[in-house]
């Protein structure tokens, strides 16, 4: 709702920087919360982050034509001199999009291989100073896909790599904990769940991920994979800060 309320203000101002910031906010919200319906089958994008999120969402929602449009456009942007230093990250996002397309089509091995290549490429980049770049860490996505296809043992290392680049990142902690739990490494899983609960210390207590973490820590049952709605809290912090920045820019003209 907040992004929707902010959009007319930014669009009325017309500043390209503000429009790009708004697009990145939308993209991060969708990627972090996995609210794929946020984009639906839309094709309109404001920047490469927006384009990537549209492609992933389209693939997850069963719109392969939109997903492939996103992948092709990302591939072209990755070769464009206008993108400058962003080109390596854009190339990684193109590979991630291709992998999600393959996964949706049942080409599991191809999806994993593509994400392994994307992960190797990302690990060659300098560690991000703030938010993840690209917006969905390739090692994290690789770990999630490996979990999805029933390979938790192979998922542990990618999640570790993701956490080294983005320490304490909630989705990576959650994925690592689930992989460890699936392998029966209960103490390791509990340790990661404890870190996750620390991240969301002030979150609503009925969030599914927090209930999952509490059960795992108490040893009452094996955690089950669910959509990461707890990530909404982390996104809210990012979005709030970005909104303040955007509003100030609009007011300052």
The span from the CA of 69 to the CA of 44, in Å, is 11
Residue 145 above 90 pLDDT?
yes
Predicted model pTM: 0.83
Least confident of 121-130, 156-165, 194-203, 223-232: 223-232
DSSP per position, 140-182: HHHHHHHHHTT-HHHHHHHHHHHHHHSTT-HHHHHHHHHHHHH
Cβ atoms < 10 Å from Cβ of 247:
14
Confidence (pLDDT) at 62: 95
Omega into 134 within 30° of 0, i.e. cis?
yes
Confidence (pLDDT) at 209: 85
In the chain, the percentage of residues whose pLDDT exceeds 90 is 61
Q: Report, as an integer, the average pLDDT of 187-203.
A: 91
Give CA separation, 71 vs 51, 100, 101, in Å: 9, 10, 9
Residue 1 above 50 pLDDT?
no
Least confident of 5-14, 38-47, 78-87: 5-14
pLDDT tens-digit map of 146-187: 999 999 999 999 999 999 999 999 999 999 999 999 999 999
* Residue 247 vs residue 26, higher pLDDT: 26
Residue 199 above 70 pLDDT?
yes
Residue 236 above 90 pLDDT?
no
- How would residue 220 be classed by pLDDT, with cut points 50, 70 and 90? low
Mean pLDDT, the chain, integer? 84
- How would residue 23 be classed by pLDDT, with cut points 50, 70 and 90? confident
The residue among 133, 223, 136 whose CA lies nearest residue 172 is 136
Q: What angle do CA 13, 18, 22 make, to 5 degrees?
A: 115
Residue 97 above 60 pLDDT?
yes
Residue 250 above 50 pLDDT?
no
Instruction: Please give the domain boundaries of the chain with CATH numbers for all domains.
Output: 36-167 (1.25.40)
Residue 194 above 90 pLDDT?
yes
Residue 70 above 50 pLDDT?
yes
């Amino acid at each position: 709702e907040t992004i929707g309320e902010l959009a007319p203000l930014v669009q009325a101002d017309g500043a390209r920087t503000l429009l790009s910031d708004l697009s990145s906010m939308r993209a991060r919200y969708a990627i972090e919360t996995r609210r794929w319906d946020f984009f639906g089958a839309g094709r309109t994008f404001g920047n490469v982050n927006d384009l990537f999120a549209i492609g992933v969402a389209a693939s997850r929602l069963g719109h392969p034509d939109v997903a492939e449009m996103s992948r092709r456009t990302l591939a072209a942007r990755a070769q464009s001199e206008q993108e400058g230093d962003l080109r390596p990250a854009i190339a990684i996002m193109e590979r991630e999009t291709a992998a999600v397309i393959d996964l949706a089509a049942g080409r599991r091995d191809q999806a994993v291989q593509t994400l392994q290549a994307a992960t190797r490429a990302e690990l060659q980049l300098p560690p991000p100073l703030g938010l993840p770049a690209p917006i969905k860490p390739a090692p994290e996505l690789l770990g999630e896909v490996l979990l999805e296809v029933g390979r938790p043992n192979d998922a542990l290392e990618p999640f570790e790599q993701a956490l080294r680049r983005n320490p304490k990142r909630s989705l990576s902690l959650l994925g690592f904990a689930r992989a460890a739990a699936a392998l029966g490494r209960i103490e390791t899983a509990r340790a990661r769940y404890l870190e996750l609960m620390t991240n969301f210390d002030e979150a609503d207590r009925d969030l599914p991920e927090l209930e999952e973490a509490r059960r795992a820590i108490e040893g009452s049952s094996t955690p089950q994979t669910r959509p990461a709605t707890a990530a909404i809290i982390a996104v809210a912090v990012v979005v709030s800060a970005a909104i303040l920045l955007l509003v100030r820019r609009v007011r300052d003209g």
